């Protein structure tokens, strides 16, 4: 008997499971975001107790990362395994990508092996949506160029909610290389949907033009002005890999003007009661001072811990197994 591979739907058609894919935070409702965060709370408790579950037994999750990652890829793998799924890490460096295989052919090939959900990171904006048009599996965007990084924003929202009780009416200053940051884009949409007041702060050369209508306030080019009154300072990595040419004189100059230090937290609140976040990886001593990284107000590792929980919630949804 000849086995026949049934091709996936043609590009441009809509997936039956599109509602379970997570391609962007733009357009997500408050209720949708909160349901993921509520599920993630349950999974965070499971992780803290080092428990596992069989919720995704029989499901296959493929991590297809065409860009480097420490946190996102590892936490998606841990999330899938903690829920009992088979987690496969596709390595583009060892794949037929090097022989000229296109992205569409690569993901269709993986899909044909029987995948329930594909987690995709790629340097091109729109690549996750592109993949979703070529595969049967649900697709989770793990970062597409400078466009979006939805699970990062969800884990950031979870971190703020756990630390402050709510995101609503909190003032969040997103500081740094906003122009090139998919983290900033996803956070603006997520935090605004949850009722936060979001302001953007950074050098003129790194200020976005596309987010002006999505934020409640103007874009600040002065750190002291921009972080005034902030409950949370969300710092961003300088995305050197996305700079076509130098956007600032150097790390020392950036740190002098925009680096976050314990002393500068008093520019936000006189009592210095401000939370500092960074998605990682961090240019130590540039975006955040070394002293600040060791300060209990810096939540970087708490963000990482919440990342596994959020990705468990997202994978459960993507595999159609929400509890």
> What residue ranges bind ligand CP (CB under 6 A)?
69-72, 143, 149, 152, 279-281
Q: Which of 143, 203 has the CB closer to ligand CP? A: 143
Compute the least distance from the CB of residue 154 to ligand CP, in Å.
12
Q: Which of 24, 55 has the CB closer to ligand CP? A: 24
- Both tokens assigned to 250: 């150097």
Q: Which of 114, 281 has the CB closer to ligand CP? A: 281
Phi-psi label, residue 229: left if phi above 0, alpha if psi -120 to 50, beta otherwise: left
Compute the least distance from the CB of residue 13 to ligand CP, in Å.
30
The SS3 call for residue 22 is strand
Which stretch of DSSP H or E encloses residue 276?
A: strand 275-277
Rounded to whole angstroms, the Cα distance separating 53 from 92 reads 30
- Both tokens assigned to 322: 């929400």
CA distance to 122, 208, 252, 315, per residue, from 103 (Å):
10, 29, 39, 22
For residue 174, what are the contacts with CB-CB under 8 A and spacing of at least 6? 184, 187, 188, 198, 199, 200, 201, 234, 236
- Both tokens assigned to 54: 């069989």
Rounded to whole angstroms, the Cα distance separating 72 from 307 reads 8
Q: Which of 81, 108 has the CB closer to ligand CP? A: 81
Q: How many CB atoms lie within 10 A of CB 262?
A: 16
For residue 155, what are the contacts with CB-CB under 8 A and spacing of at least 6? 40, 303, 306, 307, 309, 310, 311
Rounded to whole angstroms, the Cα distance separating 39 from 191 reads 18
Q: Which of 69, 95 has the CB closer to ligand CP? A: 69
For residue 183, what are the contacts with CB-CB under 8 A and spacing of at least 6? 149, 152, 153, 156, 236, 279
Compute the least distance from the CB of residue 183 to ligand CP, in Å.
7
């Amino acid at each position: 008997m000849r086995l026949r591979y049934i091709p996936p739907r043609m590009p441009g058609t809509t997936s039956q499971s599109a509602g379970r894919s997570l391609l962007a935070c733009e357009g997500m409702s408050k209720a949708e975001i909160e349901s993921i965060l509520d599920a993630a709370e349950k999974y965070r408790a499971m992780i803290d107790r080092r428990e596992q579950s069989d919720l995704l037994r029989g499901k296959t999750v493929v991590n297809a990362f065409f860009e480097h990652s420490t946190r996102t890829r590892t936490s998606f793998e841990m999330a899938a395994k903690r829920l009992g799924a088979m987690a496969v890490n596709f390595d583009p460096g060892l794949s037929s990508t090097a022989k000229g295989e296109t992205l569409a052919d690569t993901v269709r090939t993986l899909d044909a092996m029987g995948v329930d959900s594909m987690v995709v990171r790629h340097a091109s904006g729109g690549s996750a949506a592109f993949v979703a048009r070529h595969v049967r599996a649900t697709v989770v965007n793990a970062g597409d160029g400078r466009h979006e990084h939805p699970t990062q924003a969800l884990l950031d929202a979870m971190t703020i909610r756990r630390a402050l009780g709510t995101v609503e009416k909190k003032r969040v200053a997103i500081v740094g290389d906003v122009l090139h940051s998919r983290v900033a884009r996803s956070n603006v949409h997520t935090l605004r949907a949850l009722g936060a007041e979001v302001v953007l702060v950074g050098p003129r050369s790194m200020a976005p033009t596309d987010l002006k209508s999505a934020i409640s306030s103007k874009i600040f080019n002065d750190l002291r002005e921009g972080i005034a009154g902030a409950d949370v300072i969300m710092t961003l990595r300088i995305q050197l890999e996305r700079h076509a040419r130098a956007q600032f004189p150097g790390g020392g100059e950036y740190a002098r003007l925009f680096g976050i230090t314990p002393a500068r937290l008093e520019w936000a609140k006189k009592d210095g009661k401000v939370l500092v976040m960074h998605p990682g990886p961090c240019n130590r001593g540039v975006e955040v001072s070394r002293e600040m990284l060791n300060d209990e107000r810096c939540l970087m590792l708490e963000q990482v811990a919440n990342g596994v929980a959020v990705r468990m919630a997202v994978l459960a949804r993507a595999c159609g197994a929400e509890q």
